[in-house]
Structure 1
């Protein structure tokens, strides 16, 4: 009669910790590799002194600290990494917002207050996104050696990027609907396609940033 293989405490620990964390896949994978290497080294150090491997694995996990104890600090690190990624995406897409604002303004030559309001919204979001992106990259970069990262900065970046994504979606719809009536319809249509593509990238990054912020709040 065959017996089920024994669970590996190290693998169970890594699985629990991995499930509780959210952030950029590459940064998270690198973090888990470091944890695994540390646990494996601890297990091997004990087995060299004759400690059975199962017992050595249990000891290594206990000495390392529970997943609940380590998750908050690990999640903060991943949240900062995702904040920087979202800030970079927002900075790169500012020119897209500017182009969309210009094209919406061109389309709104006939006084349409809706398109005019959208153009103003895009200009405001572009300015806010650019300023906040630069601030976030500076605050989460070398400046962290001197000052702590502002607590609400990840949330501010996430929601500003979300506003930029919404603005680009609205611009894409407006440009798509009105491109047939515009004399510059090829350029207008191209701007709409560009807005759709940028919306997808920014929205995905902003959504992951919000997820990291919520995960960090849940780890406190």
Structure 2
């Protein structure tokens, strides 16, 4: 590989460790920067600079890794918040329907965490509304608040799942039916997903604050 390409790819590799957010969003940013760096290097080469010097000049024009990471942090953190909420909004009904089928026929009191789940859903919808196309009509949320809202939704869903599992474990009526096992497995899977999403939120928060490098392998995909 030519040295000029190595310089650009090395710069992008270092930047990749600083970017938070979903994998697809990070890849799109890196691809955009790669195209820009390649074009800038080509302009310097056309002006008579050697390939290596042209690549170094292009990198200098774009700024340091920390500067570029900070420039994209807000956008990527917002996308991380939307990604987290979307995952939970999509999986929520898939998990909830099993618990409704299992517990609702006995008594509405069999679902003690239902108000908490409703609050989590409302917060999630608010995050989506204030970070997407609806910002033409509603105030947009700053990245930090959007991320905090997403984390709150994750915690609410995890508490809800733990509550449902506790009800199942202490209930004498539910038994070990196929429905009960399915509902429990659904909540256990979402609890594992919730831990992963909370870590992604924490890493995104650290990237937004500039506290430490964020490895893309540790971010939510």
Shorter-chain TM-score tier: 0.7 to 0.9
In structure 1, the residue matched to 2:99 is 100
Question: What is the CA–CA distance in structure 1 between the aligned matches of 2:59 and 2:122, rounded to whole Å?
Answer: 44
Runs of 5+ unmatched residues, structure 2? 213-221
Whether the 8 Å contact between 1:14 and 1:36 is mirrored in structure 2 is yes
TM-score w.r.t. the length of structure 2 is 0.78
Tell me the number of residue pairs that the alignment of Structure 1 and Structure 2 aligns. Answer: 206
Q: Does 1:189 align with 2:181?
A: yes
Deviation at 1:43, TM superposition (A): 0.5
Q: For 2:105 and 2:184, how far apart are their aligned partners in 1?
A: 13
Note the C-alpha offset of 1:86: 1.1
2: distance between equivalents of 1:211 and 1:144? 26
CA contact (8 A) 2:158 2:194 kept: yes
Q: 1:57: how far off?
A: 1.0
Picking from 111, 115, 125, the partner of 1:124 is: 115
CA contact (8 A) 1:94 1:126 kept: no
The normalised TM-score by structure 1 is 0.79
Q: Tell me the residue number matched to 1:52.
A: 50
DSSP-derived class of the 1:21 partner: coil
Aligned to 2:218: none
Separation in 2, partners of 1:172, 1:205: 20
Aligned to 1:89: 87
User: Could you report, residue by residue, the CA deviation over 1:23-68 in whole angstroms, capped at 9, with x for unpaired residues?
Assistant: 1111101110110110011111111222101111111111111111
What residue in structure 1 maps to residue 209 of structure 2?
217
Identify which of structures 1 and 2 has the higher relative contact order when contacts are C-alpha pairs closer than 8 Å and 6+ apart.
2
In the TM superposition, residue 103 of structure 1 has moved relative to its aligned partner by 3.9
1:193 Cα deviation after fit: 1.5
- Higher Rg: 1
